[in-house]
A and B are shown apart, each in its own frame.
Chain A
């Protein structure tokens, strides 16, 4: 073997090691997960999310400011804040292609934004609605600063239309003033789809490997203390 071959072998070897340890081994461990079956309730989790709003979430790059992952108590205050009931694990994402984990939080985490107990402010905060429903999300998309002063989120006015007053169904009209006189602001199909996707996000289903604190009803949830960091 020539001395150049040593150099080349070293270059190849270091790459192979990196690929083996960081890609191949994890693939063997978490590359073929299946749904969790809840025998008591006869349900399976997770389910495929085919909502078209997901494509819009991707198209607009929402994942550059919003994560969809909950870290355990050892890593920050996600659960204490009310963004989730348990940490998220690989199984939560088996049907996501690709998972929109995100790496930056310039806005709140959205892993469970459609769940019953999701909250983004203190529990006793009276001014905010207990649940952020369709109407809240539509208005927030149209102009975030109406609802959250100083929000850095861009307004997505281009996902809305302006129609002649009185022509749209009452439930669709946003409580804002249209730019054109005698017009009203209504969501486009895309805005509706995006909101439907957001409201579908719910990763609170207890999983054996993640603990979780979903109360009583799910008897199959393991008794693991929720505060314990999930270890593999």
Chain B
């Protein structure tokens, strides 16, 4: 059996044991088997990204101008916001993540996908369930439980769809031909198992037998935290650990750090959920436990951060050339900042200010957009050419996408962080009226709407570019589309 925990994870993505020629034949075989399903995942993910961007914009603009679309019940703020969350997390984040995870797993285990049709079936089921769920929310059928607002039948339909993906992931691991298990595979295997356990447990607990009162909120908080820490973050880190060494062509700095980072995240990342309920009607020890776990996240934060930075050391000029590295490395930096920020605001003092404000939304968007989505963008820029057989048409379009996503996403987060602090500080004063608290928050909102315009622009450019790739309109295969021609490296050393 191959190395897992007893032996440290391997530091370089599955190096071919055989000659280069036989590996490239094998690789082509694997990519051919992954082409259909992975492109379906990417295509539908992108469609959901555009839909969620629309809902995000409507939601943001409605706070500034509540009269906007006010006579349409389906566009009322309390329906648009959960619809946005569902489209973004289950549509874009999950589908893009599943596509990337399956492709990475096949490549790293050096195993072709046996039944690509099953994956496509799973993807369609997931999409169908989600479409039902989002329509349900818009028509007023939400469950009333924040973080788990999707109507339950829709959620179960998505779970059935996921089943095919999870099984494929596990089979790929079981059939692997490589004798070593690269660190990305640890994270992917974790995600493939954690997600269904989490999803199943939470939905069963909220089905029969019915949980009493606040326990429902406890389960929902546990589920929401699990989605971030046991599903999105592992896939994001798996992709970062693969893409950065691959493009700059050197092994990961340290396998011991990688191992510590993985296990500390697995243990403490699962215990941080209850800071969402701090000060709420739950036992005090529960919140204290989660605060302690949040503090312990400093271990994965430092180890993962150091490992990725040390790997990049001496190769930072690649940010200048490679779209994949530019997106992925920015994502890695944001991962560290977002983790540090949520660690800080878990503490009781800061939390008593930022709780119930947009600050929490900001740290969540930072994790899911500026870290996770950026890495997914980088991964899609890397993977798609290998599936369709041509390279991205235009470096300028990629540049537009990067600028809009990085600055738009950053602006949205910064604006909400500040508005959260402003509203929270004001709320500490008991003589402040609710309308004044609101005023403090909303002074910042035009910035957020501007950010969403930028992000919309970036996503449109990305969607267009991806469509061109599907139509095989691009540069000839072989030479990756770069921001600038390689070869001037000496100037940058």
Distance in Å: Cβ of B183 to nearest Cβ of chain A = 11
Residues in A141-169 with C-beta less than 8 Å from chain B: 144-145, 148-158
Q: How far is A64 from B361 in the complex, measured between Cα atoms in Å?
A: 12
Cβ of A216 under 8 Å from chain B: no
Cβ of A197 under 8 Å from chain B: no
B144 close to A63 (CB less than 8 A): yes
Cβ of B352 under 8 Å from chain A: yes
Most buried by A among B274, B283, B284, B437: B283
Find B146's partner among A30, A63, A122 (CB 8 Å cutoff).
A63
With A64-B81, A151-B438, A155-B70 as known contacts, state yes or no: A106 contacts B63, CB within 8 Å. Answer: yes
A232 close to B283 (CB less than 8 A): yes
Residues in B336-375 with C-beta less than 8 Å from chain A: 348, 351-352, 355-358, 360-361
Distance in Å: Cβ of B19 to nearest Cβ of chain A = 28
Distance in Å: Cβ of B64 to nearest Cβ of chain A = 8
Contacts of B141 in A (CB 8 A): 59
A3 close to B4 (CB less than 8 A): yes
Residues in B78-99 with C-beta less than 8 Å from chain A: 78-79, 81-82
Contacts of A150 in B (CB 8 A): 435, 438-439, 442
Residues in A78-136 with C-beta less than 8 Å from chain B: 80-82, 87-90, 92-108, 120-122
B66 close to A155 (CB less than 8 A): yes
Cβ of A17 under 8 Å from chain B: yes
A11 close to B193 (CB less than 8 A): yes
Among A19-27, A37-45, A181-189, A219-227, the stretch that binds chain B is A19-27
A106 close to B441 (CB less than 8 A): yes
Of all chain A residues, the one with the shortest Cβ separation from B223 is A23
Find B66's partner among A26, A64, A97, A151 (CB 8 Å cutoff).
A151
Q: How far is A137 from B163 in the complex, measured between Cα atoms in Å?
A: 47
Question: What are the interface flags for B143-166 relative to A under an 8 Å C-beta threshold, 1 for contact and 0 otherwise?
Answer: 111100000000000000000000
Cβ of A50 under 8 Å from chain B: no
A98 close to B218 (CB less than 8 A): no
With A3-B1, A71-B280 as known contacts, state yes or no: A30 contacts B270, CB within 8 Å. Answer: no
Residues in A8-60 with C-beta less than 8 Å from chain B: 8, 10-12, 14-15, 17-19, 21-23, 26-27, 29-33, 58-60
A10 close to B435 (CB less than 8 A): no
Contacts of B267 in A (CB 8 A): 14, 17
B280 close to A154 (CB less than 8 A): no
Distance in Å: Cβ of A10 to nearest Cβ of chain B = 6
Q: How far is A8 from B190 in the complex, measured between Cα atoms in Å?
A: 8
Q: How far is A75 from B230 in the complex, measured between Cα atoms in Å?
A: 29
Cβ of A208 under 8 Å from chain B: no
B198 close to A15 (CB less than 8 A): yes
Q: How far is A11 from B187 in the complex, measured between Cα atoms in Å?
A: 9
Cβ of B282 under 8 Å from chain A: yes
Of all chain A residues, the one with the shortest Cβ separation from B352 is A75
Contacts of B285 in A (CB 8 A): 232
Find B78's partner among A17, A60, A155 (CB 8 Å cutoff).
A60
B2 close to A61 (CB less than 8 A): no
Of all chain A residues, the one with the shortest Cβ separation from B173 is A4
Distance in Å: Cβ of A12 to nearest Cβ of chain B = 7
Contacts of A15 in B (CB 8 A): 193-194, 197-198, 230, 270
Cβ of B464 under 8 Å from chain A: no
Find A26's partner among B276, B282, B351, B423 (CB 8 Å cutoff).
B282
With A18-B271, A93-B213 as known contacts, state yes or no: A30 contacts B282, CB within 8 Å. Answer: yes
A6 close to B270 (CB less than 8 A): no
Of all chain B residues, the one with the shortest Cβ separation from A34 is B212
Q: How far is A120 from B438 in the complex, measured between Cα atoms in Å?
A: 12
Distance in Å: Cβ of B221 to nearest Cβ of chain A = 8
A80 close to B70 (CB less than 8 A): no
Find A158's partner among B73, B143, B190, B284 (CB 8 Å cutoff).
B73
Distance in Å: Cβ of B85 to nearest Cβ of chain A = 10
Distance in Å: Cβ of A93 to nearest Cβ of chain B = 4
Question: What are the interface flags for B275-295 relative to A under an 8 Å C-beta threshold, 1 for contact and 0 otherwise?
Answer: 011111111111001100000
Find A88's partner among B278, B281, B433 (CB 8 Å cutoff).
B281
Of all chain A residues, the one with the shortest Cβ separation from B193 is A11
Contacts of B427 in A (CB 8 A): 76-77, 105
With A32-B212, A104-B356 as known contacts, state yes or no: A23 contacts B205, CB within 8 Å. Answer: yes
Contacts of A177 in B (CB 8 A): none
Question: What are the interface flags for B422-442 relative to A under an 8 Å C-beta threshold, 1 for contact and 0 otherwise?
Answer: 010001111111110111011
Most buried by B among A76, A87, A148: A76
Q: How far is A70 from B212 in the complex, measured between Cα atoms in Å?
A: 19
Q: How far is A64 from B147 in the complex, measured between Cα atoms in Å?
A: 10
B3 close to A61 (CB less than 8 A): no
Cβ of B207 under 8 Å from chain A: no
Contacts of A14 in B (CB 8 A): 263, 266-267, 270
Q: Shortest 6 CB-CB distances between A and B: which pairs?
A: A61-B78, A18-B270, A80-B430, A75-B279, A59-B140, A108-B434
13 residue pairs of the A-B complex, CB under 8 angstroms, read: A4-B2, A18-B222, A30-B212, A61-B142, A62-B78, A63-B78, A71-B279, A76-B427, A98-B206, A101-B146, A154-B70, A155-B66, A157-B70
